[in-house]
Amino acid sequence: MPTPLTHHVEPHRPFRPSRRTRRRLAADAALLAVAASFALPLLWLLLASVDAEAGLRVKAPSGVTSENFSAVLTDEIAFTPMLNSLLLCGGATALTVGCAALAAYPLSRYRSRFNRPYLLTVLFSTCLPITAVMVPVYGLFVRIDLIDTMYGTALFMATAQLPFAIWLMKNFMDGVPKTLEEAAWTDGAGWLQTLTRVVLPLMGPGVAVVSIYCFVLMWGNFFVPFLLLLSPEKLPAAVTVFTFFGDYGQVAYGQLAAFSILYSTPVVLLYTLISRRLGGGFTLGGAVKG
């Protein structure tokens, strides 16, 4: 009689992920935690703006309301400060980008032993905290009668952003071929025409990056206009946001959230309008063969 076949059954072993898998899961969990830390304030902002009884807790509103937006959409709270911010930051950004282009052009095109020390000095000046120079700047503005003026404040804000703007602009300008400028010089163009009609159009993404960088930093600047502007009708939105903080720790959280959404809208729209140029790269469509 033949012996029946017996099947050998392997003992059940629990699944143990490899070390590489564990590291990947840990990295994914850390990234999710970082993303949640950024998403949670935004979620509170959206929920509190439509909640009549908003507080510091992130909770769904019992009833959606537009009272917070109606309360802040006034000339005194929203429209006039937003217009002041646009004029102040827009003018300062245009001045910064123009001066940065004029300063970066010789640094990019002409070699000198002083270029590197100058660029390092420019980069070092960006490390100085703005609070360290505000006391002498305030005294200077009082003496030359620039205190409580929009153009004086815009001038100082542009000056504060100029060092890093020069550094960025110079790096972008290095990517434009010099042969295109030589062709323009052959046709009789001067250095200013070459800069405005050849170099800057070809480095459109770089100009957009510098413009957005400067505008965003100026848009969120509270300390400089708070000290240099004294009249309430000249204050930008970054300063008037403190009107929602009352005495004895009372804060109108719903109105603060609604105003914050309105306050961030121009920056988001600016980035959305220029984002196509940021990803387009440098267009050398005007190149000619030598």
Give the CATH number of the domain where residue 179 resides.
Answer: 1.10.3720.10
Domain with 174, as residue range(s), is 82-235
* Within-domain flag for 180: yes
Alpha-carbon distance of 203 to 286, in angstroms, equals 12
Residues of the chain short of pLDDT 50, as ranges, are 280-290
Residue 123 lies in a domain: yes
As a whole number of Å, the end-to-end CA separation of the chain is: 98
Q: Is residue 67 part of a domain?
A: no
The tokens for 290 are: 């030598």
Q: Report the pLDDT value the prediction gives residue 158, as an integer from 0 to 100.
A: 93
Number of domain units in the chain = 1
- pLDDT at position 285, please? 40
CA dist 223 and 221 (Å) reads 6
Answer yes or no: is 117 within a domain.
yes
pLDDT value of position 156: 93
Specify if 44 maps to a domain: no
Q: What confidence score (pLDDT) does residue 281 get?
A: 46
26 falls within a domain: no
Q: What's the pLDDT at 286? A: 40
Q: Give the predicted TM-score (pTM) of the model.
A: 0.78
Question: Residue 141: inside a domain, yes or no?
Answer: yes
* CB distance 165 to 213 below 8 Å: yes
| Residue 144 within a domain | yes
Read off the tokens for 159: 């000056």
